[in-house]
Amino acid sequence: MSFIFRNQLHLLWIVLLVPLVGVLPLQGQPVDDVISSDKGLSALTSTGNFAKDTMLINKYNQLARKYLFHDASVTIRYAKEALALCQKNHWDRGKLDTYNLLSTYYLIDGSYDILREISNESYNLSIKLDLPVYKAYAERFLAESYAEYREFDKAYFYFESALATFIKYKADSAQALCLENIANYHREKNEWELAEENYNKAYQLNDQLNNPFGKASVLQSEGYMCLRRLQFQKAENLFYRALAINKSINNRYGLLNVYNDLNNFYYITNDFDKSIEIGKLALDFSKRYHSTLHTNWALNCLAKAYKKKNDLPTTVEYLEQISFLRRLTHQERIERQFTMSQLMFDNKQMDIEIQNKTIEEQNAIQVFLIGILVLSIIFAIFLWRANINLRKKNVEIKGALIKGQTLERKRVAAELHDSLGGTLASLNWYLYGIDKKILPDHERTIYNSIQQMVGKAYKDLRSLSHNLMPDDLETHGLVLTIQRLVDKLNENNEISFTFDVSGLDERLGSKVEFEMYSIILELTNNILKHAQAKLARIQIEADPQFINLTVSDDGIGLRVKTDGGMGLGNVRNRVQSLSGTLKIQIENGTFIFIKIPRT
């Protein structure tokens, strides 16, 4: 039944794009006839002119949206072309539009890892451009990624934040979608009355807006709730109402989603003939939509239904198709992940180049002005200015060193994620494609061990690449970055980390934040590797003169290296660079006290 919930989430987001793009040009026309008229359009390259390229970007995005409900392959083709042109022309507003479109596509495709990366990019870019509505769109997509991994509290937080923005700026269609998302949240917690209340609000708002997409989505989501409550007649009625709306507006994606839900509905209610009839419709629409993911879902339901009817040859036939599509889906996903990662990496590199050029120009102007000033004053003032410039240069050198370390960490993190991370992800997906049921018991044990180790290695690598240099440190500061680090550490359920902070109401200097983050990261890694602890605590207390950092655990105690090896050497060096002190107490665990002067 889990795949129904996923279908519901997919359809929810598609509703959002309707108020952005207006009425679809396909509405009221035969779908296949209209699509065939544009599929032959070739992807153009950059014209070399910014104004013409922006028009071309808008055209690509318009075409991508046009086919979003009808042909996934055409949508992703034009969206990628638009993003590449946005990067070439450094057009941030165009990137936001394309990111929203790609986020919807990857939501439909079920690529939640890519969705979260793109949503984070959109979130940061919308803050940079001071576009709160776009920020709310990014928050909604982030919420969807958290909902997929059943982190409902985080999802609810982002849904509520987005809803407040939409209400403030009167984005009514997006507001209706958030109400439906909140209803789904209550549904997953079995809070039926709250769920039904929010479904009614969402449906009424969509009805006022004359938004058939939104109405169909609410009906389908509520139908799933009724199915979970075993209210079969009501669930079937809601599914068919949603189906009728999608038929009236030629929404191919909406149709295949409802057919998949009905397919599963009849399977659950043991009407296997009806399940097969509807499943074949779902399969036909999924193939025409060019989505291997949805095709695989339809095949899976058909195989289960034929198995219940003891039609083993047909069951085997569908299972063979499922096996082939799984391999195909794996290959397509790896290619998409590589392409998107490369595009996003190139985007960051271009942004860094622009920033460096701006800094170089500003430095050149500053040097020129200083030279003019020096030539216009007497010799004594010249000596005084020379001394000031020398101090300033020392500060710039220190800042450059910190920046260099930061950029190097980002580079290493990106290389780890893009190269080794891609290899591990490929291996993991390939393992998922193996049917372990056909393996002997001892080989199945080996297979399970390999699968667990590869999964853990991939998770550890993702955590390492993020922790090397999180974007949050520059954007949000030390406190929020450490809190998010602790949240990630607690995901492994082996050691419980807590984080307490007091007296630190403002941000510290970039060097202090960078060094303190590196110290905490080093110490937490030591705890994970060597402490054998159950509980660990990170505490920061600040007063007007000092910052006190305490990291403790209840483990076996830290063996301090004295041979000059890595050990705590890196920590000592960083503390010394901040003119601080370090003390270690080993008694019923390890207690590390660090005191740094607040300059």
Which pLDDT band, with edges at 50, 70 and 90, does 322 fall under?
confident
CA nearest neighbour of 154 among 164, 142, 162? 142
pLDDT of residue 241: 96
Beta carbons within 8 Å of 33's beta carbon, 6+ residues apart: none
Instruction: Report which of residues 382 and 350 the model is more confident about.
Output: 382
Three-state DSSP state, 501 = strand
What percent of the chain is modeled with pLDDT above 70?
78
| Average pLDDT of the segment spanning 217-230 | 93
Which pLDDT band, with edges at 50, 70 and 90, does 329 fall under?
low
**pLDDT surpasses 90 at 321:** no
CATH numbers and ranges of domains, the chain: 2-33+53-346 (1.25.40.10), 377-469 (no CATH), 472-599 (3.30.565.10)
Give the highest mean pLDDT range of 113-117, 271-275, 403-407, 457-461.
271-275
Task: Give the separation between CA 303 and CA 279, rounded to whole angstroms.
Answer: 10
For the chain, report the end-to-end CA distance as a whole number of angstroms. 58
Task: Give the separation between CA 78 and CA 24, rounded to whole angstroms.
Answer: 17
| Average pLDDT of the segment spanning 87-97 | 88
Q: DSSP per residue over 252-295, as a string?
A: HHHHHHHHHHHHHHHHHTT-HHHHHHHHHHHHHHHHHTT-HHHH
**pLDDT surpasses 50 at 32:** no
pLDDT of residue 46: 67
| Average pLDDT of the segment spanning 28-51 | 51
Task: Give the separation between CA 84 and CA 80, rounded to whole angstroms.
Answer: 6
In this structure, what DSSP letter does residue 131 have?
-
Beta carbons within 8 Å of 411's beta carbon, 6+ residues apart: none
**pLDDT surpasses 90 at 176:** yes
CA nearest neighbour of 2 among 149, 193, 192, 198? 149
**pLDDT surpasses 90 at 522:** no
pLDDT of residue 34: 36
| Average pLDDT of the segment spanning 345-357 | 69
Beta carbons within 8 Å of 81's beta carbon, 6+ residues apart: 43, 44, 60
Residue 458 structure tokens = 């991939």
**pLDDT surpasses 70 at 268:** yes
pLDDT of residue 49: 82
Instruction: Report which of residues 111 and 437 the model is more confident about.
Output: 111
pLDDT tens string 48-83 = 788 888 898 899 989 998 888 888 888 888 888 888
| Average pLDDT of the segment spanning 72-95 | 87
| Average pLDDT of the segment spanning 254-272 | 91
Predicted TM-score (pTM) of the model is 0.51
| Average pLDDT of the segment spanning 76-92 | 86
pLDDT tens string 558-597 = 665 544 444 577 788 888 888 899 999 988 889 999 999 9
Lowest mean pLDDT among 100-114, 231-245, 422-436: 422-436
Residue 328 structure tokens = 């195909």
